[in-house]
Amino acid sequence: MDDKNRQDVLSLLPDELRDRLRDHFTRRDQPAYRVDQTVGWIYGAGPSGFHAMTNLPAAEREALEANFRFQEPEVARISKARDGTAKFLWRLTGGELVESVLIPSRSRLTLCISSQAGCAMGCTFCATGWAGFDRQLTAGEIVAQYRATLRWAADEAYGPITNVVYMGMGEPLANRKAVHPSLTILNQGFELGARRITVSTVGVVPGILELADRPEQFELALSLHAPEPELRAQLIPLEQRYPLPSLMEALKTYQARGGRRITFEYTMIRDVNDAPELAVTLADLAREIRAFVNLIPFNPIPFQDWRPSSDQRIEEFRRILERAGVSVQVRTPRGREIEAACGQLRADAEAGLR
């Protein structure tokens, strides 16, 4: 069977995977426990590819290989920063490059994954936005970033990955066909709790409403970056399609379904979106939906001469929010020397800067 016709096991929903494997092993007169053996391996951290499954007879490994595809992306580069942050640049089968970032902190090991190769949203503060869109990732390509990193983290004594955030390259809610199954696979297949998975969006309203309809309690992060429509539209072109008031309505719906937590991400760019008055407007929005606010100093990108806000200005912003009763934190930049921000590793690699 050629590659296209082999079913990608990491793209299948856990129930579908079991059904397909049951059919496969039944046809081959194999005992039912072969399904559990294979599923256990796929949702584990062992090497990908059926050849590695030495608990199966050689003939069964070959038969699986002939009918199914079980593949992780090739590692193009791994960069590790002094603070332990590790950045992975993956080469997909078509040669496209995507990235994931593993961020250790005291109590968590968070993996940031990509959902698209490139991005069509064109946000002006983002390296990926400037580089344009290549293609959608499949559910398997999204999940495989997690699976491959799980093994790397275990080998490098980082321990288990505790949280996954869809905050790498791409707008996850512009690839809902793959992102929805990938959420189910991470949650039901790899048994990562829904509250440990965060979907980040620049504000795709229909996607937020679809997520709200799911029974799982996934967390949602909104890349807000400006609390006023005009300024926001300068940073995020999608604002013109889904203006802030409609976005706030969608967030209220999301929150109403089981009181799920919403975070506002606010990248602080000097003299662009860091005027103290904006902190007051931001506080009003955050209070409306009891959102938690992350203030993130802007990480300079190759295509813009913007700079991060001063520490003093960030602190002033934080204090205004806090005084208004909003839960807020300043997110310390991680892995700066490996450029562990959205799209930067790929942007550099493609520009031949390294």
Q: Mind telling me the catalytic residues?
A: 99, 342
Interaction of residue 99 with ligand SF4, rule CB under 6 A: no
Contact criterion met (CB below 8 Å) for 111 and 340: no
C-beta closer to ligand SF4: residue 112 or 119 = 119
Half-sphere exposure of 345 (CA within 13 A, CB side): 28
Interaction of residue 169 with ligand SF4, rule CB under 6 A: yes
Pick from 218, 116, 250: nearest CA to 175: 116
Interaction of residue 115 with ligand SF4, rule CB under 6 A: no
Interaction of residue 126 with ligand SF4, rule CB under 6 A: yes
Interaction of residue 170 with ligand SF4, rule CB under 6 A: yes
Give the residue, chosen from 35, 86, 123, 244, that forms a contact with ligand SF4 under the rule CB under 6 A.
123
Give the H or E element holding residue 295.
Answer: strand 292-297
C-beta closer to ligand SF4: residue 202 or 244 = 202
Q: Which of residues 309-348 bind ligand SF4 (CB under 6 A)?
A: 342
Interaction of residue 148 with ligand SF4, rule CB under 6 A: no
What are 219's two structure tokens? 């967390």
Contacts of 319 (CB under 8 A, 6+ apart): none
Q: How is residue 193 annotated by DSSP? A: -
Give the residue, chosen from 121, 148, 194, 224, that forms a contact with ligand SF4 under the rule CB under 6 A.
121
Interaction of residue 301 with ligand SF4, rule CB under 6 A: no
Interaction of residue 171 with ligand SF4, rule CB under 6 A: yes
CA 187 to chain centre: 14
- DSSP letters, 117-151, are EE-SS--TT-HHHHH-EEEEPPHHHHHHHHHHHHH
Distance CA 181, CA 140 (A): 9
Pick from 125, 340, 153: nearest CA to 223: 125
C-beta closer to ligand SF4: residue 123 or 278 = 123
What x-and-dash track marks residues 181-210 binding ligand SF4 by CB under 6 A?
A: ---------------------x--------
What x-and-dash track marks residues 207-226 binding ligand SF4 by CB under 6 A?
A: ----------------x---
Of 1-9, 118-126, 246-254, 274-282, which segment contacts ligand SF4 by CB under 6 A?
118-126
What are 227's two structure tokens? 């609390």
Binding footprint of ligand SF4 on the chain (CB under 6 A): 119, 121-123, 126, 128-129, 169-171, 202, 223, 342
